Amino acid sequence: MAEYSRLAKGHFTTNGGLNVVNLPFQPDYVEFLNLTVYTTPTATQVAKAYWDVQMGQGAALYETVTVTTLALVPAYSASGGISTFGAGLLFQYGAQKQIIGATAANPIVFNVTAHGYVVGDIVMFEGLYQSATTGMPQISGMPFVISAVGDADHFSVVWPGAGGNYTALSGSPTGAYVKKVLYPFLYSPGVSFIEAITTGTTTTVVTTAPNNFVVGQQVGFHIPTSWGTTQLNENSNLIIPGSPVYGYVISVTNSTTFVVNINSTGYTAFNTNQTVAAVKAGLSFPQVVAVGDVNTGGVAISSGSVLYPSPVVNGVSTINGPAISGAFVNNTRQGFTVGSVIAPVASQVVYYRAFLHDLSA
């Protein structure tokens, strides 16, 4: 009988990359069975896996289906297996990786040896100088979502890198790095950085990373003069001087694109073609912030959902209870992750059991 141990079981559908399982604790032992592989045995696929905290983070013992007999063969990996996580504090990053090169195009394609990223990861860049006066340091310091992964050494982010002030990177420039933001949305919604603005009777805004806005979200713009479209700014009210100008999100196109109900016809065009020289003088970025909402209800139910769903952040439910849609919510969490070595194929159903033992030796 274990009085203080924690036990959990469940299932999830694999995404082909890093699968996150939220739990009320960080386990010291995890095992899983791949229902899809058991149902339809396929050569080289992983049928079952085990992990104990003593093996080290990211490790796993696992069994794969053999090519000829479909028997299970034991294997071990020190990485790409199971890790625990505690997403409670910001400013936690993955390893800093040298950038070998980058295209001056939209999207910008980065060449980084064995980057290990998947679509949807959030990354930040540093450096990006090709020389003292060239390169693309204009985007250093902003978070970006990875929009595509070409291969193990190439990934893309959406940004108008074809502007005349951007030049390609090559030859592993000194100080040019990328790193993954491990826990990018612990509090939501928040500040987002703007990649594009389409003006008109309504205004369409694209952000560099998921903004987590919902329909009914009230937003405000903080756009430095050099980026144009400053008429959207909160402090641009010509009718009631001093009263901030806000807009409401009227539709959400995807995780990075939303439409706001501000008539921006005739506003100055948005300009991402910032100079390298401006970076060295302290270049502030165009931003949009959540300032409130006009909603009265929570997240709508859907097939298979609970009756009172939790707020969704970056496509995943938070672990807290229901809230007004668009409210400021906490998204801190913990649990374990399943890596791509033991869950390399998407859309497979995996059953897991996780334990935190009273007695562990």
Interatomic CA distance for residues 153 and 75, integer angstroms? 26
- The identity of residue 82, as a single letter, is I
Q: Which of 90, 118, 119, 345 binds other proteins (CB under 8 A)?
A: 90
Q: Which of 72, 182, 186, 215 binds other proteins (CB under 8 A)?
A: 186
Region of 65-73, 159-167, 195-203, 237-245 interacting with other proteins (CB under 8 A): 237-245
Q: Which of 10, 150, 175, 315 binds other proteins (CB under 8 A)?
A: 175
CB burial class (10 A; 0-12, 13-18, 19+) of residue 347? exposed
Region of 109-117, 150-158, 241-249, 253-261 interacting with other proteins (CB under 8 A): 241-249
The interface mask with other proteins, positions 119-138, x = CB under 8 A, is: -----x-xxxx-------x-
Q: CA dist 14 to 96, 110, 186, 281, 313, Å?
A: 27, 26, 23, 46, 19
CB burial class (10 A; 0-12, 13-18, 19+) of residue 249? buried
**Binding of residue 294 to other proteins (CB under 8 A):** yes
Q: How far is the CB of 233 from other proteins (least distance, A)?
A: 10
**Binding of residue 182 to other proteins (CB under 8 A):** no
- Per the CB < 8 A criterion, the answer to whether 138 and 274 are in contact is yes
Q: Which of 73, 191, 301, 346 binds other proteins (CB under 8 A)?
A: 191
Give 267-298 as a DSSP string. Answer: PPPP-----HHHHHTTPPPPEEEEEEE---S-
Region of 26-34, 161-169, 215-223, 254-262 interacting with other proteins (CB under 8 A): 215-223
**Binding of residue 300 to other proteins (CB under 8 A):** no
Put the strands of the sheet holding 82-87 in their side by side order: 19-23, 333-338, 82-87
**Binding of residue 161 to other proteins (CB under 8 A):** no
Residue with tokens 């095992």: 31
| Residues near other proteins, by CB under 8 A | 1, 3-4, 89-91, 93, 96, 124, 126-129, 137, 140-141, 175, 177, 179, 185-191, 218, 220, 222, 234-235, 239-240, 242-244, 246, 279-285, 287, 289-295, 311, 320-324, 326-330, 332
